[in-house]
């Protein structure tokens, strides 16, 4: 205790720099994680934060909502599969809408989800207002509240020639329900159908993109999904989680981020491990002397590990501070400080740093106190 | 003349100690059947040329090295067959050591270099307050009261050596071993340090073995023992005053 802390006090710059470096790296890890979560949420938040346990896609859509249509025969068949308590249509489409604040409405892209109001597929992260109760009402993604998607705002679907304008009034806001990084509305299926007809007046029937399934109490969504896929020709049923993970884009985002994260996770412990190995070499003389005057090896190892812990924790406090500043600073960066991932990251970094410090520990354990009598391998400090 | 009772035996007794270094096929007999007894409060000078086995002998007496043959008894404790772990504890509690080269922890002040001895003993050692008190007393006694807060790099060679003496005395050892304590100092400072060692040992009645290859230093000892090629012999000529 005394040895470890006194040494750190006497070499403030050296240990301070290391803590700073660890802090920056941990900050980058946290930042990357938050960015990727934020980005993924902007891509598929709508899938993650809706209430259906299972989504049934057209098998040819290859898990892509945009390319999926469920035919009437399939719709009926899905409802018959054992374990399915409720199966209702869920439509998704990207539309050009007129939205904006203070009368300065402008044309922009928005995604509209249409679900059966009392069925599965409703947004689950309502933060303000209420869910839609009638055609023409919608819940909007809270991220876009200031861009003309706030409660009380109206969003108009711009029709193609021959189509009729469709207007939605925002009655509620839900968190992380964006899709394809666009402002997103959840409305009833009839509203979605009207929007589809506005841009495609000649359409004969508007088909749902997927079927939203609520599984029976106690049923395993994964098993039910497999059963649907097997039973209903031309469909691919996925649990909510599978649908999220399988979405095009998500796995690509995840993969590229995870490579970067992996590198950071490797660099932090390598830097600390190497630092402590060098420091241990540098003070070999002092360590040998301490062993010679009767210090148990364990005491020196504990001092070393204590220093690793102090450095990583100091760095982590710094990192969380920076992260907090970054999350408040905003600047369009969409990150939030969550204690779970932060704790996980810090613990993982600490464990890895302790592991790589074993090289230094090994060095300490190999010190032969007799070397104190010859001054072998010793630098006079 | 001794004030500390040592009912369990002499501060140091070496019986037919032999140390053989093996490197590859060759064997080096560094110490050959050395027998030596140091009495209570006695200061023994161990005089010999370079490579004669002085450090080896001292290391065996100090529990840093185990002998190949023979028996080693320090302050009544037979340490001949002790495990490395037991020897570590022995070094911490029973002997004081002043080494030939590095003696101080560079990132600790003079005072902390003394306190570290108490720190190493953990809970079984003295209280923090007592340790501070003792470190202060020792440093004052060694004329270093005003240097207590200085790092080794801020001290002169003689001052460093005095701190090392304080460290060696900190745990009130039965025996203090000095390996060429003046070899890095010029003659005048060296003599001052020897005088200090002599005073400190005498006032405490602590026994000491002082290794040297300098005959001018032997008069600070009660007795001089010569070592040549690992073999000990009493030296009647160089015997100092009692
Ligand atoms: N670890 C070792 N392995 C092999 N031989 C050694 C080892 N240590 C010492 N020796 C040899 O043992 C002999 C005695 O060495 P020791 O260090 O005890 O001498 P010394 O009297 O202290 O010499 P100096 O006055 O130079 O310090 C020397 O010949 C030395 O080369
Ligand atoms: Mg020597």
**Two structure tokens written together for A316:** 């982590």
Alpha carbon distance B146, B132 (integer Å):
15
pLDDT value at residue A331: 52
Question: Residue B74's beta-bridge partner residues?
Answer: B12, B77
A282: contact with B, CB 8 A cutoff: no
CA A143 vs. chain centroid, Å, equals: 16
B102: contact with A, CB 8 A cutoff: yes
Full strand arrangement of the beta sheet holding B207-212 = B95-98, B175-179, B207-212, B43-47, B223-228, B231-234
Return the best residue to mutate from B54, B100, B217 for the ligand 1 pocket (most ligand atoms within 8 A of CB). B54
Which residues are CB-neighbours of A270 under 8 A, at least 6 positions away? A356
Nearest residue of chain A to residue B97 (CA atoms): A293
B184: contact with A, CB 8 A cutoff: no
Q: Which ligand is nearest to the CA of B61?
A: 1
Tell me if B139 sits within 8 A of B150, measured CB to CB.
no
User: What residue's CA is closest to ligand 1, atom 26?
Assistant: B50
Alpha carbon distance B210, B230 (integer Å):
16
Residues constituting chain A: 381
CA B42 vs. chain centroid, Å, equals: 13
Return the best residue to mutate from B23, B46, B51 for the ligand 1 pocket (most ligand atoms within 8 A of CB). B51
pLDDT value at residue A336: 60
Nearest residue of chain B to residue A4 (CA atoms): B107
Instruction: Kindly give the pairing relationship between strand B95-98 and strand B77-78.
Output: unpaired
A2: contact with B, CB 8 A cutoff: yes
**H or E stretch covering B112:** helix B110-120
Distances (CA, A) of A349 to A264, A324, B176: 10, 19, 46
Give the distance from residue A275's alpha carbon to the nearest chain B alpha carbon, in angstroms. 17
Tell me if A229 sits within 8 A of A92, measured CB to CB.
no
pLDDT value at residue A2: 87
User: For residue B234, what is the DSSP state?
Assistant: E
Q: What string of H, E and C letters represents the secondary structure of chain A?
A: CHHHHHHHHHCHHHHHHHHHHHHHHHHHHHHHHHHHHHHHHHHHHHHHCECCCEEEEEHHHCCCHHHCCCCHHHHHHHHHCCCEEEEEEEEEEEEEEEECCCCCCEEEEEEEEEECCCCCCCECCEEEECCCCCCCEEEEEHHHHHHCCCCCCEEEECCCCCCCCEEEEEEEEECCCCECCECEEEEEHHHHHHHHHHHCCCCCCCCCCEEEEEECCCCCHHHHHHHHHHHCCCEEEEEHHHHHHHCCCHHHHHHHHHHHHHHHHHHHHHHHHHHHHHHHHHCHHHHHHHHHCCCCHHHHHHHHHHHHHHHHHHHHHHHHHHHHHHHHHCCCCCCCCCHHHHHHHHHHHHHHHHHHCHHHHHHHHCCCCCHHHHCCCCCCC
Q: Which ligand is nearest to the CA of A370?
A: 1
Closest residue by Cα to residue A240 from A214, A207, A208: A214
Classified as helix, coil or strand, B9 is coil
User: What residue's CA is closest to ligand 1, atom 16?
Assistant: B53
Cβ within 8 Å, pair A378-B92: no
In the reported structure, the alpha carbon of residue B99 is separated from the centroid of ligand 1 by a whole-number distance in angstroms of 14
Residues constituting chain B: 242
Alpha carbon distance B155, B164 (integer Å):
12
Cα radius of gyration (chain A): 29
Return the best residue to mutate from A369, A370, A371, A374 for the ligand 1 pocket (most ligand atoms within 8 A of CB). A374
Classified as helix, coil or strand, B122 is helix
- Chain A residues within 8 A of B91 when measuring between CB atoms: 292-294, 369
In the reported structure, the alpha carbon of residue B107 is separated from the centroid of ligand 2 by a whole-number distance in angstroms of 26
More confident site: B242 or A350: A350
CA A174 vs. chain centroid, Å, equals: 17
- Chain B residues within 8 A of A290 when measuring between CB atoms: 105, 116, 120
Nearest residue of chain A to residue B167 (CA atoms): A293
What's the number of CA atoms in the CB half-sphere (13 Å) around residue B179?
24
| Domain range B10-233, its CATH number among 3.40.470.10, 3.40.50.10470, 3.40.50.300, 3.90.1200.10 | 3.40.50.300
User: What residue's CA is closest to ligand 1, atom 1?
Assistant: B21
> Of B59, B88, B107, which has the smallest distance from its Cβ to A370's Cβ?
B59
Classified as helix, coil or strand, B70 is strand
CB atoms within 10 A of CB B175: 23
- Chain B residues within 8 A of A381 when measuring between CB atoms: 106-107, 152-153
Cβ within 8 Å, pair B107-A375: no
End-to-end CA distance of chain A: 22
Nearest residue of chain B to residue A375 (CA atoms): B101
Cβ within 8 Å, pair B85-A296: yes
Average pLDDT for runs of 10 along chain A of length 381: 91 94 92 84 91 95 91 94 95 93 84 95 95 95 93 93 91 94 95 94 90 94 95 95 87 84 89 92 93 94 95 94 81 64 90 93 92 62 33
**How many percent of chain B have pLDDT more than 70?**
92
Alpha carbon distance A247, A241 (integer Å):
10
Alpha carbon distance B14, B38 (integer Å):
9
User: What residue's CA is closest to ligand 1, atom 28?
Assistant: B51
Give the mean pLDDT of B29-42.
94
Classified as helix, coil or strand, B211 is strand
Give the pLDDT band (50/70/90) at residue B241: very low
pLDDT value at residue B23: 85
pLDDT value at residue B237: 55
More confident site: B24 or A190: A190
Q: Which ligand is nearest to the CA of B28?
A: 1
pLDDT value at residue B242: 41
Cβ within 8 Å, pair B101-A10: no
Alpha carbon distance A44, A46 (integer Å):
5
A295: contact with B, CB 8 A cutoff: yes
Domain residues of chain B, as ranges?
10-233
pLDDT tens digits, one per residue of B151-172: 999 999 989 999 999 999 999 9
**Two structure tokens written together for A296:** 């148990």
pLDDT tens digits, one per residue of B170-227: 999 989 999 999 888 888 888 988 999 999 999 999 999 999 988 888 899 999 999 9
Q: Tell me, what's the ipTM?
A: 0.91
User: What residue's CA is closest to ligand 1, atom 27?
Assistant: B50
B86: contact with A, CB 8 A cutoff: no
Cβ < 6 A, ligand 1 pocket: B 21, 23, 28, 30, 48, 50-56, 213
A11: contact with B, CB 8 A cutoff: yes
């Amino acid at each position: 205790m005394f040895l470890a802390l006194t040494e750190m006090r006497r070499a403030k710059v050296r240990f301070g720099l290391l803590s700073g470096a660890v802090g920056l790296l941990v900050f980058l890890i946290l930042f990357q994680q938050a960015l990727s979560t934020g980005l993924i949420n902007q891509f598929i938040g709508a899938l993650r934060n809706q209430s259906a346990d299972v989504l049934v896609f057209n098998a040819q859509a290859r898990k892509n909502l945009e390319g999926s249509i469920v035919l009437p025969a399939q719709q009926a068949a899905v409802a018959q599969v054992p374990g399915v308590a409720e199966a209702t249509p869920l439509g998704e489409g990207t539309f050009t809408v007129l939205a904006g604040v203070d009368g300065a409405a402008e044309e922009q892209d928005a995604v509209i989800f249409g679900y059966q109001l009392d069925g599965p597929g409703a947004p689950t992260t309502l933060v303000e207002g209420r869910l839609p109760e009638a055609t023409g009402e919608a819940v909007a993604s809270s991220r876009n509240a200031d861009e003309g998607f706030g409660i009380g705002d109206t969003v108009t679907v711009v029709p193609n020639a021959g189509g009729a304008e469709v207007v939605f009034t925002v009655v509620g806001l839900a968190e992380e329900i964006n899709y394809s990084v666009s402002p997103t509305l959840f409305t009833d299926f009839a509203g979605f159908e009207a929007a589809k007809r506005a841009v495609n007046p000649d359409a004969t029937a508007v088909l749902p993109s997927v079927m939203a399934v609520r599984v029976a109490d106690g049923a395993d969504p994964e098993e039910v999904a497999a059963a649907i896929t097997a039973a209903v020709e031309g469909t691919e049923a996925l649990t909510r989680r599978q649908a999220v993970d399988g979405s095009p884009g998500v796995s690509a985002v995840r993969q590229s981020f995870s490579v970067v994260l992996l590198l950071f996770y490797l660099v932090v412990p390598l830097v600390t491990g190497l630092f402590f190995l060098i420091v241990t070499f540098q003070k070999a003389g002092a360590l040998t002397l301490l062993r010679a005057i009767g210090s148990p090896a364990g005491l020196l190892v504990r001092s070393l590990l204590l220093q690793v812990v102090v450095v990583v924790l100091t760095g982590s406090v710094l990192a969380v501070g920076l992260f907090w500043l970054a999350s408040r600073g905003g600047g369009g960066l969409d990150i939030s400080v969550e204690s779970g991932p932060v704790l996980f990251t810090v613990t993982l970094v600490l464990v890895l740093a302790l592991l790589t410090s074993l090289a230094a520990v090994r060095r300490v354990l190999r010190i032969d106190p007799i070397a104190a009598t010859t001054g072998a391998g010793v630098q006079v400090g | 003349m001794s004030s500390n009772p040592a009912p369990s035996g002499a501060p140091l007794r070496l019986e037919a100690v032999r140390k053989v270094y093996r490197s590859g096929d060759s064997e080096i007999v560094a110490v050959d059947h050395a027998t030596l007894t140091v009495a209570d409060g006695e200061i023994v000078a161990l005089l010999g040329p370079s490579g004669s086995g002085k450090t080896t002998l001292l290391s065996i007496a100090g529990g840093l090295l185990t002998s190949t043959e023979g028996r080693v008894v320090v302050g009544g404790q037979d340490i001949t067959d002790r495990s490395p772990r037991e020897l570590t504890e022995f070094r911490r509690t029973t002997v004081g050591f002043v080494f030939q080269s590095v003696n101080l922890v560079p990132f600790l002040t003079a005072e902390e270099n003394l306190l570290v001895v108490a720190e190493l003993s953990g809970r079984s050692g003295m209280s923090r307050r007592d340790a501070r008190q003792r470190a202060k007393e020792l440093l004052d006694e060694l004329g270093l009261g005003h240097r207590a807060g200085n790092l080794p790099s801020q001290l002169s060679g003689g001052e460093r050596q005095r701190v090392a003496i304080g460290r060696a005395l900190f745990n009130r050892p039965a025996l203090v071993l000095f390996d060429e304590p003046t070899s890095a100092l010029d003659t005048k400072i060296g003599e001052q340090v020897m005088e200090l060692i002599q005073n400190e040992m005498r006032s405490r009645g602590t026994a000491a073995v002082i290794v040297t290859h300098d005959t001018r230093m032997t008069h600070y000892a009660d007795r001089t023992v010569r070592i040549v090629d690992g073999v000990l012999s009493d030296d009647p000529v160089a015997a100092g005053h009692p």
